[in-house]
Structure 1
């Protein structure tokens, strides 16, 4: 099969720099950022601090480094403990950096399907200082918004405020992994600064839905950012003329934030189309932003509902390979699940093409198994 078009739905990190970004990068004013003099970096950091309502901001090479720096800045004594979701990005996908590099102990609490954690369980996880001779010292609570492993679900401002109140009650800090906080803000209709008001720090990815080629920003108080800048240097994240990267991020803020709503609409259209294909089941209501990863693949055979992993030639890895032959790239999330991520470089026509290809693959799999969807 000759592929005539490619539709890349693996992640919103696969976006390419726009021509406007490339032009801005070429013209960017630069200086040594480690010395604190890169004018374009300073402009980006000032803008991000303003958007989030925080005192200061710091550009970092990646979201993983941004979260690591944030946790280590708050948990500045080895043996400290952070409370975070069992299914959070920091806990699952960041190489255990808070433990291996920072000596910070993760205290996990069960994530609900919407990405939240029960507040009473968070409070129960806070260590009693009276037993500090035995326990790690709780220093920090981490939330994630939107929540990747919950399918891009958004955490409400009321919930964040309550967790913030709990943190203050016990003398703790609150960090939000806001890799897609602009998606959450768009979906909820709540300005970013209000959404993160209760947080002491936030990490925000520039290279996901915003579409910049590189980087993240962390925001917080001036004292927090001063300590974070030292840690950035320690971790090898102190770069020099980063204005060439920050220039693209400034264009992303100007041009692409307004496109997120359309990304969400395309994700919903994709979800609704998938749910209409006989044999596919998807929680359409759970698709709130640009990620649809609640799809479980199954088919009906003689009116008996069967899980495809046990009874069919079509499972998630095979589906990914079959779609790739059509020019559709998606990401296997689990053997039972495939993730689709929309972004501003995916068109409405791409969504319809994807649906037609998936329909064809499902039909072929059903024919091979003698099933009648």
Structure 2
């Protein structure tokens, strides 16, 4: 059996989740008549400390709708230089919301209030109007880094002091919650909008939920229709999210423990560099420069051992743990890396 560590998006619905999907009460989501969708949105809004929420097909749509509601074409959004907005959304901030991204020099995906202040533009007709600060928690390219609540609070204070709103890309927010012990609502109350992805650590096949104030969500609904995200009997998808909220949050701690075990097992391999202090949640990043092999070549060799990981650059590999990878799978992955690279 293949051990798929390419991403936590590779999770498959559990048997219990499939039963919940099959038995879900449904209705017309666009008309507000799907009880499963309504229940999911109410649950997530409460979880994130917001007034309302909106079920969407993907996390990217959550980000892009949020940018378009908060901003106007030509406005500037401040985000870390490694953010998902910049690297993995196909230029959508420019194409859909018409905004530009001003990059902040964070450390492992986390910037500081001083970085927001330093990026402030003068109030002149020649400069783009700054509207929004976006925080990615956990920070993917940072290695699954958890934002400390105090840092989020300081950034939010700096942003609002300059008249900017605060958005959180919470694709893996529940990983941050479990790893830090910080309630999701404590993060959420510092933000004007935020969302959680259902298809990563929570193990659902489809969907994400965007939360914010009632007026914000009302406008988000308009864009959901405009961009083709409105659905009909979407309760069969929302039911998976409800099941995940009940059964798949606390178990994220298992993924974090498995990532730590994997990292520890790879540290001693020839030419492999792993920063154990950077393994905070469910991601392990490896620098394979010293192996004499390129990351894509190592990835291909691992496939012969039924281990799937991703090459993020010519010299860097990412492995992501999730609910479909147990301890035995982690041990198999360590053995496969050892076979490919030599002990």
**Which position in structure 1 is the counterpart of 2:317?**
338
CA-based RMSD? 1.1
Q: Could you list the per-position Cα deviations for residues 141-171 of structure 1 after superposition, in whole angstroms to 9, with x for gaps in the alignment?
A: 0010000000101110000001111122112
1:118 offset after TM fit, Å?
A: 3.3
**Which position in structure 2 is the counterpart of 1:301?**
none
**Which position in structure 1 is the counterpart of 2:15?**
19
SS in 1 for 2:250: helix
**Which position in structure 2 is the counterpart of 1:50?**
46
Q: What pairs with 1:177-326 in structure 2 (closer than 5 Å)?
A: 177-293=169-285, 295-298=286-289, 307-308=290-291, 312=292, 314-326=293-305
Q: Could you list the per-position Cα deviations for residues 172-197 of structure 1 after superposition, in whole angstroms to 9, with x for gaps in the alignment?
A: 10000000000001111111111222
Match of 2:84 among 80, 89, 92: 89
What is the CA–CA distance in structure 2 between the aligned matches of 1:279 and 1:91, rounded to whole Å? Answer: 31
Structure 2 gap segments, 5+ residues each: none
Counterpart check, 1:175 vs 2:167: yes
**Which position in structure 1 is the counterpart of 2:149?**
157
Q: Could you list the per-position Cα deviations for residues 87-144 of structure 1 after superposition, in whole angstroms to 9, with x for gaps in the alignment?
A: 100111111111111111211112212x112322211222222x1x101111100010
SS in 1 for 2:31: coil
Structure 1 gap segments, 5+ residues each: 299-306, 364-372
What is the CA–CA distance in structure 2 between the aligned matches of 1:111 and 1:92, rounded to whole Å? Answer: 15
State the aligned residue count: 343
Q: Could you list the per-position Cα deviations for residues 8-29 of structure 1 after superposition, in whole angstroms to 9, with x for gaps in the alignment?
A: 0000000001111111111111
Q: Using structure 2 for the length normalisation, give the TM-score.
A: 0.98
1:53 offset after TM fit, Å?
A: 0.8
SS in 2 for 1:267: helix
8 Å contact 2:263–2:276 — kept in the other structure? yes
Q: Could you list the per-position Cα deviations for residues 265-306 of structure 1 after superposition, in whole angstroms to 9, with x for gaps in the alignment?
A: 00000000000223322001110000111x1125xxxxxxxx
